[in-house]
Amino acid sequence: MDNIVIRYTEKPKLKDPIFIEGLPGIGNVGKLAAEHLIDELGAKKFAEIVSKYFPPQVMVLDGGLVKLVNNELYYVRNVGKGTDMIFLVGDYQGMNPEGQYELTDFILGVLKDFDVKRIFTLGGYGVGRIVEKPKVYGAATDEEMVKEMEKFGVVFSRGEPGTGIVGASGLLLGLGALYDMHSVCFMGETSGYFVDPKSARAVLEVLTRALGIEVDFSELEAKAKQIDAITARLRESEVKPEEPRKDLGYIG
């Protein structure tokens, strides 16, 4: 089989779409944020990507049906001031460096076909402590993007994250430059101990400002309250939360 297989259920015509990536990573910040946006904007799935760079695994869904682990592309038209959008979400990122490079390059090829020129990648930045008001750090491919995004409250700082950005959120910027894409990565501060809807909301607040759109956050707020309840209970019982895996701490 091919290393990467894409199956289109639809080939939508889109006008200068922007691209938003939210794959699993630290605190699942990017995944939560992108999936929330897909739900709120009513974006529609149009393609599935399976690959031998993902684990050899099926998920078991409601009703006992299986789904091969995959990545999925969604689109929505005419949002806010008339923007078309493509989203990438999924169960996994590529499991090894080769897979990361191949999958990212594959996605960029797909985006080129849709004439994408602007990329937003969403992720978390693990800081190893509970964060009350998560900041959103940024990194970009060019200075105009930096200047533009600073206006929306994104923090650009050489030392953050010190280890660079590992995984799809970083690679889409790095390889995207070879495709002449203007890209920015938003990283919400997060402890790294838990799935973090609060950080996802912080990222979305910046992103929606940048896109000139408004979305409802009640769904994310409900999830955040659940997590807060769990962390409060953990603190009371003085059970120290598990150490975050170090090798995940810097995955965007």
Task: Give CA–CA dist 230/191, Å, rounded.
Answer: 14
- Interhelix angle 197-211/218-236, nearest 10 degrees: 150
Whether cis (ω within 30° of 0) applies to the bond prior to 134 is no
Q: Which is nearer to a copy of itself, 27 or 94 (CB)?
A: 94
The 10 Å Cβ neighbour count of residue 163 is: 9
The single residue among 65, 218, 239, 242 that binds a copy of itself, judged by CB under 8 A, is 65
- Interface pattern 68-107 for a copy of itself (x via CB under 8 A): xx------------------------xx-xx-xxx-xx--
**Contact status: 66 vs a copy of itself (CB under 8 A):** yes
Tokens for 88, please give them: 């990438």
Residue with tokens 């101990």: 193
33 contacts 137 by C-beta, under 8 angstroms: no
**Contact status: 144 vs a copy of itself (CB under 8 A):** no
Q: Which is nearer to a copy of itself, 130 or 175 (CB)?
A: 175
Please, what is the minimum distance in Å from the beta carbon of residue 205 to a copy of itself? Answer: 19
- Sign, Cα dihedral of 139, 160, 148, 251: positive
Output the CA angle 148-154-158, nearest 5 degrees.
100
Please, what is the minimum distance in Å from the beta carbon of residue 187 to a copy of itself? Answer: 10
**Contact status: 59 vs a copy of itself (CB under 8 A):** yes
Task: Give CA–CA dist 207/33, Å, rounded.
Answer: 10
**Contact status: 63 vs a copy of itself (CB under 8 A):** yes
Tokens for 138, please give them: 């940024």
**Contact status: 110 vs a copy of itself (CB under 8 A):** no
- Interface pattern 184-213 for a copy of itself (x via CB under 8 A): -x----------------------------
Task: Give CA–CA dist 35/178, Å, rounded.
Answer: 28
The single residue among 42, 56, 133, 180 that binds a copy of itself, judged by CB under 8 A, is 56
Question: Under rule CB under 8 A, which residues in 5-44 are in contact with a copy of itself?
Answer: 5, 7
30 contacts 22 by C-beta, under 8 angstroms: yes
Footprint on this chain of a copy of itself (rule: CB under 8 A): 1, 5, 7, 50, 52-69, 94-95, 97-98, 100-102, 104-105, 138-143, 146, 156-158, 160-161, 164-168, 170-171, 173-175, 177-178, 185
